[in-house]
Amino acid sequence: MSDKDSLDKYIEHRPKVFNSEIILVYLNALDKNKLKAEEEYEECKDQVQEQLDFIISEKVENTKCSMAQAKVLATNDERYKNIKAEYRKRKAYYLLKKVEANNGHSYCENLKQESINQLAVDKLTRN
């Protein structure tokens, strides 16, 4: 899903009026998406380091080179580049979900304040 699709979906599904039950469901969904993205990101972060360590030890054993040279060879290895690319994708996705969750909380807080203000205006204009 592209960032544009995600933004459109985010805007389409957000509550239009203050209803605490709908807002709770909405914020819960945003928070769950953020947590899931964070778990995937953290898992991938661990895999990057594990993959790098594995490739370094493999290079040291197979090529009988120094540790510094093995690190250089490992960072140029296709397996490491692939996991690093996946890591960048998951990090970007996590950051997007984090921003969506934060924006959702702010948006709902603003809805609440608008609702309070409207109640006050209605009460004042009735008298």
Per-residue pLDDT of 7-34, as tens digits, reads: 677 778 888 888 889 999 999 999 999 9
Question: What is the tally of structural domains in the chain?
Answer: 1
Given this model, what pLDDT does residue 18 score?
86
In a domain, 11, yes or no: no
In a domain, 96, yes or no: yes
Given this model, what pLDDT does residue 127 score?
63
Query: Which structural domain, as residue segments, surrounds residue 95?
Result: 21-101
In a domain, 121, yes or no: no
Whole-number Cα distances in Å, 55 to 42, 67, 71: 20, 11, 8
In a domain, 120, yes or no: no
* pTM tops 0.75: yes
In a domain, 3, yes or no: no
What digits encode the pLDDT tens for the residues 70-102? 999 999 999 999 999 999 999 999 999 999 999
Given this model, what pLDDT does residue 44 score?
97
Whole-number Cα distances in Å, 35 to 29, 31, 60, 86, 111: 10, 6, 38, 18, 24
In a domain, 71, yes or no: yes
In a domain, 41, yes or no: yes
94 vs 36: CA distance, rounded Å: 8
